[in-house]
Amino acid sequence: MKLNDFRFDYPDELVAQAPLAERDQARLLVCNERKRACTDSAFVRIADELRENFATHSSDPVLLIVNDSKVYPARVRTVKESGARGEVFVLSPDRDKDISCLIRPLKKMRTGDVLLGGSSGHPVFKITSTNPPRVDNISGMTVSELLQQEGEMPLPPYIVRDPARVLDPSVSAMDRLRYQTVYARESGSAAAPTAGLHFTPSVLADCAEKNIFVAGVTLHVGLGTFQPVTEQDINAHNMHSEFCTIPRPTMNAILEHTEKNWPVVFVGTTAFRTVESVLLKAIGADLRDACRSRRERLSAMLASGRIGKDGLLAKAGEWIETDLFIRPAHCDDIYTPLCGDGLITNFHQPESTLAMLIASLTGYERWKRIYRHAVDNRYRLFSYGDSSVIVFRGEY
């Protein structure tokens, strides 16, 4: 398929520039592919929607797989000693020297330049290389401490802050709180796994009361998630890579639900890609070719003995690198995931790998109708926008 197959039009005012006052007040589009129906709901009802759309029996527990990676405040606004303003986007927050980063405006920077913090005016970085961009931390603090003091959350480029207010502490504090899930645990993401931004402690408590349980995986989201697809032939796109892992308790829960035919629902494309990637690696599949072949479901593999639980559990806790790129081969192609029954996700940018993933799970024509419904009914789009839950077709 071609890149322009994944275009859709929307008015700019639908791009959410800030979160709603309350996380769980987002709208929720319920797309049940088994019933071929879309209904409008609210995220505060997510527990009820999960039970109504996934649980065959009232006693069946539903497993929610979330990405518990934590976003770090990667963007540091800087000032050169000449007064020129710029920014450093830290990509390796675990080191103090030879830090991999993005520098803006790179063309005006030179090796040896000292950069001051935009809010403090104190020296924070010294440029050690411009190709590739590298800096040393000269702040007298650890990079972690520096980012907590000077850093801003790495909002995507379609969220635009008023330049006059960009250093307003209240704006930065709002983004630090809201561009982060309430269950974030392990720091390492340069962008938020945004499907989980709508969950609140009360929504999670409602889920627990209704026999819906949460288990975490970790995928540290890289800046590549915003990398545009530039090849017209989408198969020629080089997918960015990210590191991910499934802890042993979560792997045990996935296997139990798979064997007992209990529902598994992913919160976000990163949680989905983590589980799919680890399972594909466990059965020896090539991630780059994964979407080109039809496979058995994991439940069938376990039942037939083609793969054993021990082999899957051996992958638990192991960090792997994934460049899994799921896209439809043609308009009638629907991707068969190894496990899982549905996905909670936001509405993604046109011509993005995320939009292609959703089109793979629903079918291309169905994806177009879902997004047309969202735009026509004025759902808020992208990271700070509204939500959807997709019930996979189940025709496996």
Looking at the structure, tell me whether residues 65 and 84 fall in a common domain.
no
Terminal Cα distance for the chain, rounded: 23
The CA distance from 335 to 295, in Å, is 10
Looking at the structure, tell me whether residues 66 and 136 fall in a common domain.
no
- Please say whether the beta carbons of 213 and 253 come within 8 A: yes
Looking at the structure, tell me whether residues 288 and 352 fall in a common domain.
yes
In a domain, 81, yes or no: yes
Q: Which residues of the chain have pLDDT under 70?
A: 163-168, 292-295, 394-396
In a domain, 310, yes or no: yes
CATH number at residue 214: 3.40.1780.10
Q: Which pLDDT value is given to residue 288?
A: 77
Looking at the structure, tell me whether residues 62 and 119 fall in a common domain.
no
Looking at the structure, tell me whether residues 62 and 124 fall in a common domain.
no
Tokens 């850093």 appear where? 151
CATH number at residue 116: 2.40.10.240
- Please say whether the beta carbons of 322 and 287 come within 8 A: yes
Looking at the structure, tell me whether residues 140 and 284 fall in a common domain.
no
Residue 77: strand pairing partners: 87
Looking at the structure, tell me whether residues 223 and 136 fall in a common domain.
no
In a domain, 157, yes or no: no
Q: How far is CA 37 from the centre of its chain?
A: 25
CA distances to 156, 181, 184 from 171, rounded to whole Å, are: 15, 18, 21
Domain end: 129, 152, 175, which one? 152
Looking at the structure, tell me whether residues 191 and 335 fall in a common domain.
yes
Q: Which pLDDT value is given to residue 396?
A: 38
- Supply the DSSP symbol for 102: E
β-pair type (133-137, 99-104)? antiparallel
Query: Beta-strand (E) ranges in the chain?
Result: 27-32, 37-42, 62-67, 69-71, 75-80, 85-90, 99-104, 114-117, 123-130, 133-137, 151-152, 186-189, 212-219, 242-245, 264-267, 320-322, 342-346, 387-391
Looking at the structure, tell me whether residues 195 and 333 fall in a common domain.
yes
Q: Which residues contact 107 (CB under 8 A, 6 or more apart)?
A: none
Looking at the structure, tell me whether residues 38 and 113 fall in a common domain.
no
Q: Which pLDDT value is given to residue 33?
A: 81
In a domain, 163, yes or no: no
Q: Which pLDDT value is given to residue 166?
A: 57
What's phi and psi for 151, nearest 5 deg?
Answer: -80, 155
**pTM of this structure:** 0.94
In a domain, 161, yes or no: no
Domain encompassing residue 204: 3-71+183-391
In a domain, 98, yes or no: yes
Q: Which pLDDT value is given to residue 164?
A: 62
Domain end: 131, 152, 173, which one? 152
In a domain, 177, yes or no: no
The CA distance from 30 to 38, in Å, is 5
Over the stretch 134-156, which tens digit does the pLDDT of each residue have? 999 999 999 999 999 999 999 99
Q: Which pLDDT value is given to residue 291?
A: 73
Residue 4: strand pairing partners: none
Which amino acid would we find at residue 272?
Answer: F
Q: Which pLDDT value is given to residue 55?
A: 86
In a domain, 178, yes or no: no
Residues, the chain, total? Answer: 396
Into how many domains does the chain fold? 2
Looking at the structure, tell me whether residues 8 and 56 fall in a common domain.
yes
Looking at the structure, tell me whether residues 90 and 133 fall in a common domain.
yes
The CA distance from 326 to 82, in Å, is 47
Q: Which pLDDT value is given to residue 60?
A: 94
